[in-house]
Amino acid sequence: MYYRMQFSSEQAIYTNAIQANQLLLRVYLLVNSQGGSLLDYTLLPTLLDLLLYMPRGKPKFRFLCQPYTLELIPNNNALLTHYRNISKPLPLFGKNYPLCGTYEAYHGSTCLSTLGKTGPLSHNISIQTILEEKCDASLL
């Protein structure tokens, strides 16, 4: 099952790069401990936006006090739309923003999301298809 989970806050979720990276690592470990995969993410000072693959059902997060929304993604077409929209608020869809999965796909970085890893993706959509969808300005 695929999900989009968004944590938002009026106050900053993190205040420096170390806290941001610790938060992302914590999310990554929590998703993996539940048998899931972090497909893509965007972390902004007041927003943590996640695309998740969770084969055992709904993800469980209790470490942020902020409210969150959880949306079940029904199919691969909808998943591609979410891949595009998760990095939409960023210049160049996140290619140069290190706190998102798009950056990992282009630069390798820490590779917390499956976009930054080599090998087949768990949901049978090629990395090329995802990146084309993310960067297709005509779809915005």
Across the beta sheet with 68-73, the strand order is 37-44, 47-53, 2-8, 68-73
140 residues of the chain, pLDDT tens digit each: 899 999 988 899 999 999 999 999 989 899 989 998 888 999 999 999 999 999 888 888 776 666 788 999 998 889 888 988 998 888 887 788 888 888 887 776 666 676 655 444 555 677 677 777 777 655 54
- Which value, to the nearest 10 degrees, does the dihedral of the CA atoms of residues 70, 42, 47, 7 take? 20
Alpha carbon distances (Å) from 10 to 7, 61, 99, 126, 135: 11, 19, 19, 36, 29
For position 119, what pLDDT does the model report?
44
Residue with tokens 């929590």: 30
Any idea which architecture 2-139 has in CATH?
Answer: 2-Layer Sandwich (3.30)
For position 90, what pLDDT does the model report?
86
Residue with tokens 């999965």: 101
